[in-house]
Amino acid sequence: MLKAEFEFYLKNQKKLVAKYKGKYVVIKGEEVLGAYDSEIEAVDKTSETEELGTFLVQHCELGDSSISQTFHSRVVLG
C-alpha cells in the first residue's frame, strides 16, 4: 500500500513543500525520484523505469488537503 512512502512524505512534508511546492513528487522508499507539474506526467515518466504500484505520487502542498481526497458516487445504498 506504499505505507512507508506515505509516512516518509508526512514526516518530511514541510521540507518537501519548501523544495517542491505545487509539484507532484514521486517517492519510492525514502527517496524522491522526481518532481513533475502534473500527476499524469509523474506516473508516465516514472513508469518508464519503475514498476507501477512500487512508487507514490504525492501532490506537494502544506495542510491536510494534499493528503486527502473525497470521492462522490451516484450509488444509492438501501
- Does the pLDDT value for residue 69 go beyond 60? no
Q: Is residue 77 part of a domain?
A: no
Q: Is residue 74 part of a domain?
A: no
What are the strands of the beta sheet with 31-36, ordered from one edge? 31-36, 24-28, 56-59
> pTM of the predicted model, to two decimals?
0.81
pLDDT value of position 70: 44
- Which residue has better confidence, 1 or 11? 11
**What would the pLDDT profile of 8-67 be if each residue is shown by its tens digit?**
999 999 999 999 999 999 999 999 999 999 999 999 999 999 999 999 999 999 877 666
Containing structural domain, residue 50 = 3-67
Element (H, E) at 41: helix 39-46
Burial 36-50 (b: 16+ CB within 10 A, else e): beeeeebbeebeeee
Please answer whether residues 44 and 28 qualify as being in contact, where contact means their C-beta atoms are separated by less than 8 angstroms: no
- Number of domain units in the chain: 1
Element (H, E) at 16: helix 13-20
